[in-house]
Structure 1
Amino acid sequence: MSKAKLTRDTWVVVTDSEKALFLRNLTDHADPNLEIIGSETQDNPSDQAQSANRPGRKQDTGPGQKSAMEDTDWHQLAKERFAADLSDILYKKAYAGEFDRVVLVASPEVLGNLRQDMHKEVLARVVAEVPKTLTNHTVRDIEKLVKQELDAA
């Protein structure tokens, strides 16, 4: 990707695997001013809280031997589904013409999951990716950190 700037109306989507914050730049790259325009969250309890049973067991080749079977990690599965859900949300908003440019801010793992699920309509509007987890930062901190990352790219 070429060197991206935070132009007026560029969206910045800050996400992890359980929540996303949608921001819009009201000014320019020299002095970004991000406004919150929406958010998405997912209720994702720990895997232990979501699991109903003990892991299953299967017969081994030896007499009277059994092996435990790996149980589904529901917590991890929900995290991966959140990226797919977020990709769908971004597609609907792009298709509706709500944004022309977007900067994605997420951990490398979440960026990979998003990229995998993202529609070409949205991918064409991604001007930059910032591989950092900033979901627990203030909007002012996000403005500074995203600008620094884009300047350094």
Structure 2
Amino acid sequence: MNLEHDTWVVVADGEKYLLLRNKGDQEFMNLEVVDHDTSTNPPARELATDRAGRQHDSKRHSNDGVQSWGKSAMQETDWHRVEEERFAEDVAEKLLGLSAAGQFRHLLVIADPRSLGAMRNAYGDRLAPAIIAEIGKDLTNLPLDKIEASIKAWDGG
């Protein structure tokens, strides 16, 4: 994929994002960092304070006709994942604000699939006129030249 001059690119996951601008042209991409941020999301073990809850089951009948009551464990909330989704939503809100301020006309969104889904839910159709493509990959840990190479190699599928 070739990016026009001044196209903005957001590269995000649930814990960090890079906001980039193509200072080059369609033939020679030159991404420069406009903004970046990292979440302070601690590991899930530090966010949970208790063991999973228990829930009483309704009456159960065994094969021999005896009625019994049981308990089952409830699945614990993954607070780390909740924070990752919240961070992705915050990135989407930032993009909406920048778009409303006229900061970019074209935007390429690159994020891991889970974060991309959270971002899509947050910005809905409001960024549709600016978004040229969405790529469901995690490129946040790559240097700029590798991000550029990944964008150039992307075939739209």
Q: 1:56 to 1:77 in 2, by over 3 A?
A: same
* TM-score computed with the length of structure 2 as normaliser: 0.86
1:52-109 CA distance string (max 9 Å, x none): 1111122333656322122211011111111211111001110111111100111223
**Pairing of 1:3-14 with structure 2 (within 5 A):** 5-14=2-11
* TM-score computed with the length of structure 1 as normaliser: 0.88
Distance 2:77 2:117 in 1: 21
- Greater Cα offset, 42-51 or 118-127: 118-127
The residue number in structure 1 matching 2:136 is 131
1:75 is aligned to 2:72: no
Deviation at 1:110, TM superposition (A): 2.1
Q: Which has the higher helix share?
A: 1
Distance 2:105 2:121 in 1: 20
Aligned residues: 148
Structure 1 unaligned blocks of 5 or more: none
Distance 1:77 1:53 in 2: 17
Equivalent of 2:95 in 76, 90, 93: 90
- The Cα RMSD (Å) is 1.7
The residue number in structure 1 matching 2:56 is 59
Distance 1:18 1:79 in 2: 6
Choose 1 or 2 for highest CA Rg: 2
The residue number in structure 1 matching 2:42 is 45
The percentage of aligned residue pairs carrying the same residue is: 38
Structure 2 unaligned blocks of 5 or more: 61-67
Find runs of 4+ consecutive structure 1 residues off by over 6 angstroms: none
Check the 8 A contact 1:95/1:121 in 2, yes or no.
Answer: no
User: Match of 2:128, as an amino acid?
Assistant: L
